[in-house]
Chain A
Amino acid sequence: MVKKFSRPKALKGVNTHYCAGCGHGILHRLIAQVIDELGIQEKTIAVAPVGCAVVAYDYWDFDACEAAHGRALAVATGIKRCRPESIVFTYQGDGDLASIGTAETLHTANRGENLTCIFVNNACYGMTGGQMAPTTLLGQKTTTTPWGRNPQYGEGWPLKLSEMLSILKGVSFLVRTSVSNPQKIKETQNYIKKAFINQMENKGFSLVEVLSPCPTVWQKSAIEAVKWIEQEMVKEFPLGVIKG
Chain B
Amino acid sequence: MAEAAVLAGCQFYAGYPITPQNELTAYMAQRMHEENRVFIQAESEIAAINMVFGASAAGFRAMTSSSSPGISLKQEGMSYLAGAQLPAVIINVMRGGPGLGNIASSQSDYFQATRGGGHGDYFTPVLAPWNVDEAAKLVKLSFDLADYYRNPVMILADAIIGQMMESVTLSSMQKAQSVNKNWALTGAKNRLPNIVKSFFLKEGLLEAHNEHLRKKWQAIRKNEQKFSSYKINDARYVIVAYGSQARIAHEAVEILRESSIKAGLFRPISLWPYPEKGLRDIGKKVKKFLVVEQSLGQMVEDVRLALSDKEIYFLGKTGGGIPTSEEIVKFIKKNN
Identify the A interface with B (CB < 8 A): 41-45, 47-48, 54-55, 57, 60-68, 71, 74-83, 86, 103-104, 106-107, 111
Distance in angstroms from A11 CB to nearest chain B CB is: 12
Closest to B77 in A: A68
Q: List 21 A-B contacts (CB under 8 A).
A: A42-B187, A45-B58, A47-B54, A57-B193, A57-B197, A61-B188, A64-B195, A65-B54, A66-B198, A67-B80, A74-B42, A75-B57, A78-B55, A78-B58, A81-B40, A82-B60, A83-B186, A86-B185, A104-B47, A106-B43, A107-B42
Q: Does A66 lie within 8 Å of B54, measured CB to CB?
A: no
Identify the B interface with A (CB < 8 A): 11-12, 14, 38, 40, 42-44, 46-48, 50-60, 62, 76-77, 80, 84, 185-190, 193-199, 201
Distance in angstroms from B320 CB to nearest chain A CB is: 31
A149→B44 CA distance, assembly (Å) = 30
Closest to A44 in B: B187
Query: Which residue of B12, B186, B195 is within 8 Å of A78 (Cβ)?
Result: B12
A54→B201 CA distance, assembly (Å) = 10
Q: Does B199 lie within 8 Å of A71, measured CB to CB?
A: no
List, in ascending order, chain B residues with CB within 8 A of A103's CB. Answer: 43-44, 46-47
Interface centre among A42, A55, A75, A86 (most CB of B within 10 A): A75
Q: Does B57 lie within 8 Å of A65, measured CB to CB?
A: yes
Distance in angstroms from B44 CB to nearest chain A CB is: 6
Known contacts A42-B187, A75-B53, A78-B14; A66/B43 CB under 8 A: no
Q: Does A60 lie within 8 Å of B193, measured CB to CB?
A: yes
A83→B185 CA distance, assembly (Å) = 9
Known contacts A67-B53, A78-B52; A55/B12 CB under 8 A: no
A29→B197 CA distance, assembly (Å) = 22
> What 6 A-B pairs are tightest by C-beta distance, nearest first?
A78-B54, A74-B50, A107-B43, A75-B54, A78-B55, A78-B51
Q: Does B44 lie within 8 Å of A79, measured CB to CB?
A: no
A54→B50 CA distance, assembly (Å) = 17
A10→B11 CA distance, assembly (Å) = 30
Q: Does B188 lie within 8 Å of A79, measured CB to CB?
A: no
List, in ascending order, chain A residues with CB within 8 A of B185's CB. Answer: 45, 63-65, 79, 83, 86
Query: Which residue of A55, A62, A78, A111 is within 8 Å of B187 (Cβ)?
Result: A62
A166→B77 CA distance, assembly (Å) = 29
Q: Does A55 lie within 8 Å of B77, measured CB to CB?
A: no
Distance in angstroms from A204 CB to nearest chain B CB is: 16
Query: Which residue of A63, A66, A76, A81 is within 8 Å of B193 (Cβ)?
Result: A63
List, in ascending order, chain B residues with CB within 8 A of A79's CB. Answer: 54-55, 57-58, 185
Query: Which residue of B51, B84, B189 is within 8 Å of A77 (Cβ)?
Result: B51
Q: Does A71 lie within 8 Å of B46, measured CB to CB?
A: yes
List, in ascending order, chain B residues with CB within 8 A of A63's CB. Answer: 185-188, 193-195
